[in-house]
Amino acid sequence: MISMKVAIVTDFKPESGLGRYAFELHKNTKNTKLFYFNSSDKKVNKDIEVFKKANYPILKTTLNEMFYIPNKLKNLSNYDVVHASNQFLSKINVNTKKVITVHDINSLFCSDFHPIINYFHKKIYDKIDNFNQIIAVSKNTKRQLQEYYNFDKKNIEVIYEGIDKKRFKPRNKIESRSKLKLPLDKKIILHVGSSLGRKNVEGVIKIFYKIKKIEKNSILIRIGDSNRRIDTLINNYNLNNSVIQLNNVSENLLALYYNSSDLFVFPSYFEGFGFPILEAMASGVAIIASNRSSIPELVENKEFLFNPNNMNLFAKAAIEILSNNKLKYEIIQKNLKKAKKFDWKITAKKTYKIYKRCLS
């Protein structure tokens, strides 16, 4: 067995999807050190070195990724492999073997970011091919890389991310609702995601409006930031008393919200992977979701995946599931079985093989 030293680099917080990937990979892989660029320089543990990001006056994240972080890490030749844990770190240029994980390249075809940021992201993506090995977190991401950049598919390995099954697991619904002080007599529909346009939160509100016409004793819980457009839509549909919006929810509380729910709705346009879907599946919640990007790779019940623009199909399926306990149970059991396949130890083991491949 090859003995090697690996440096894993991230500039995302551990509670974010991209940050979680790096931290879990480090936790589950021996002989790795995590280089963590954050807004503070607080120490985490001996195997995690924390750097304070440069305080640029504008475009802080992008300029850190393009210039400051690569410059700070240019002398890592004492490591056998350097792993850039997300696509935004592709400017890292070290005199050793390099691996990069690409979660998505959505900036190329979605308008969530300012055109200037999209321009810089394009420049960053162009450097992905400079790495010895590329890891894609889904088949959809691999397909995107091949279509847009014509990268050699032999250098791209699909390795799925994992799920924390100790945290996200089936729990008693009544107990979960009681801890969160949620009503016991309501049907709860849940959505987890930011207000970015690609998350299609407006679609969530429109779907719930249709559900509410039939399932009058239902409420929607949204976990994620909001904006004026979303708030206006809720107000226009007269749903203010039926929608609970929460932000900055801890993962322990998030797990309870999944367990309190009767249905998880996720009509997203683009997902690099889709952690909320996996979390809902592992928690034993019935799911209806979009049929776009990586989502079909995660969900077992393909018949409950729909065009994210078709609110009628989403609402019809939601009403059917909410009124049919047998159907809901069947969906939950299939997805619980599927969720078992996504394990951080498996992710780490497959990634370690990529490191060894670089050195062979």
Regarding whether 281 and 203 lie in a shared domain, the answer is yes
Residue 43 confidence (pLDDT) = 64
> Are 105 and 129 contacting, i.e. CB atoms less than 8 angstroms apart?
no
Are 266 and 148 in a shared domain?
Answer: no
Tell me how far apart the alpha carbons of residues 253 and 212 are, in angstroms, rounded to a whole number: 26
Cβ 107 vs Cβ 117: under 8 Å: yes
Bridge partners (DSSP) of residue 81 are 6, 97
Same-domain pairing of 237 and 302: yes
User: Which element (helix H / strand E) includes 277?
Assistant: helix 275-282
User: What is the reported pLDDT for 1?
Assistant: 46
Are 73 and 222 members of one domain? no
Residues 6+ apart with CB under 8 A from 84: 9, 90, 92, 98, 99, 100, 101, 131
Flag whether 113 is in a domain.
yes
pLDDT of residue 347: 97
Walk along the chain (360 residues) and give the pLDDT tens digit of each residue. 457 899 999 999 998 889 999 999 999 999 999 999 997 766 667 789 899 999 999 899 999 999 999 999 988 989 999 999 999 999 999 999 999 999 999 888 776 777 888 888 889 999 999 999 999 999 999 999 998 888 877 789 999 999 999 999 999 999 999 999 999 999 999 999 999 999 999 999 999 999 999 999 999 999 999 999 999 999 999 999 999 999 999 999 999 999 999 999 999 999 989 999 999 999 999 999 999 999 999 998 889 999 999 999 999 999 999 999 999 999 999 999 999 999 999 999 999 999 999 998
Q: Which two tokens stand for residue 66?
A: 């393009």
Residues 35 and 143 placed together within one structural domain of the fold: yes
Position 261 in a domain: yes
Res 40: pLDDT: 73
Asked whether residue 168 is assigned to any structural domain, the reply reads no
Count how many domains the chain has: 2
| Pair 188, 333 in one domain | yes
DSSP label at residue 37? E
Going from the C-alpha of 296 to that of each of 34, 187, 288, 304, the distances in angstroms are 32, 26, 11, 10
* Same domain? 84 vs 140: yes
CATH number for the domain spanning 216: value is: 3.40.50.2000
Compute the radius of gyration of the chain from its Cα atoms: 21
Token couple for 348: 């780490």
SS3 content of the chain, % helix, strand, coil (to 5): 45, 15, 40
**Residue 1 in domain:** no
- Contact between 68 and 77 under an 8 Å Cβ cutoff? The reply is no
Co-location of 241 and 179 in the same domain? yes
Report which of 342, 271, 279 is spatially closest to residue 103, judged by C-alpha positions: 271
Is the domain of 354 the same as that of 272?
no
Answer whether residue 206 is part of any domain. yes
Question: 305 - beta bridge partners?
Answer: 289
Tell me if 103 sits within 8 A of 141, measured CB to CB.
yes
Q: Are residues 266 and 182 in the same domain?
A: yes
Entry pTM: 0.93
Return the axis-axis angle of helices 201-214 and 311-322, rounded to nearest 10°: 50
Chain-centroid distance of CA 313 in Å reads: 25
Helix H or strand E segment including 209:
helix 201-214
**Single-letter amino acid, residue 278:** L
In terms of residue numbers, what domain contains 83?
A: 6-162+343-359
Pairwise CA distance, residues 177 & 347, whole Å? 33
